[in-house]
């Protein structure tokens, strides 16, 4: 009979990341067959798993949402500093989580799901998922600086960064990147001595922000969900 480690199961069910799952286990919030779970414990389809006293459905309906994240919201389920999080736009009892992160002041598209397997694949660096941003800077980039970013290898935190920058208005640019490291877009512009003063994500993988207003969300269609899964 096929078995899986409990922290991987919790990740696949969208309860928590694998690291967060270990924290939940240590906090004795996870039970297997009525007993507190142990780190590394394996389960099968015959086992009953509970989270905070509620039985976890092992085959939940997979759902995906696109949310236009407003400014000054944390991209997390819970914030230790008690700041507002994007999960306030969803049912508090749902086992949903954001796919990746956007900075506190960054706005735009963030995907939210309970599909841990596909989410993990999308976020893995080897997937090189395209992300598109609208960026406004404190000063204009000249042609030489734009060409430098588009045609030269630059390293941010010792990791090679590939980006395409297109000017669309004064101090305003469309930027495409293929990785999601911390403050990545801001660091790209710092490399040419510019400061990002506005940052909005327009697309992630095959999904676009569209006409969603800040704080609005929509369910992805089955075709959109398949487009994400078919990337791999």
Q: Record the tokens describing residue 75, joined without a space.
A: 């991209």
- What is the C-alpha to C-alpha distance for residues 164 and 151, in angstroms, rounded to an integer? 9
To the query of whether residue 103 is one of the catalytic residues in this protein, the response is yes
Q: Beta-strand (E) ranges in 92-195? A: 97-98, 107-113, 131-137, 154-156, 159-161, 163-169, 172-177
Whose tokens are 């208005």? That residue is 169
Query: Which residue among 47, 79, 91, 103 is the active-site one?
Result: 103
Under 8 Å between Cβ of 231 and 128: no
Whose tokens are 């995907």? That residue is 111
Report the 10 Å Cβ neighbour count for 29. Answer: 17
- Residues identified as active-site: 103
């Amino acid at each position: 009979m096929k078995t899986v480690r409990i922290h991987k199961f919790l990740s696949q069910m969208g309860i928590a990341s694998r690291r967060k799952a270990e924290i939940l286990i240590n906090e004795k919030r996870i039970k297997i067959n009525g007993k507190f779970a142990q780190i590394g414990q394996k389960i099968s389809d015959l086992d009953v798993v509970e989270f905070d006293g509620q039985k976890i459905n092992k085959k939940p309906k997979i759902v995906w949402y696109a949310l236009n994240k407003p400014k000054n919201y944390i991209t997390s389920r819970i914030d230790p500093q008690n700041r507002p999080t994007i999960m306030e736009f969803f049912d508090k009892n749902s086992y949903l989580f954001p796919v990746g992160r956007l900075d506190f002041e960054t706005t735009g598209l963030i995907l939210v799901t309970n599909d841990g397997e596909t989410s993990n694949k999308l976020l893995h660096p080897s997937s090189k998922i395209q992300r598109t941003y609208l960026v406004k800077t404190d000063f204009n980039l000249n042609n030489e600086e734009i060409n430098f970013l588009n045609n030269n290898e630059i390293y941010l935190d010792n990791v090679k960064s590939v980006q395409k920058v297109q000017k669309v208005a004064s101090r305003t640019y469309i930027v495409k990147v293929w990785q999601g490291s911390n403050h990545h877009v801001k660091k790209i512009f710092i490399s040419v001595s510019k400061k990002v003063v506005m940052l909005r994500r327009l697309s992630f993988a095959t999904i676009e922000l569209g006409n969603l207003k800040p704080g609005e969300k929509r369910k992805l269609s089955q075709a959109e969900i398949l487009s994400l899964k078919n990337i791999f």
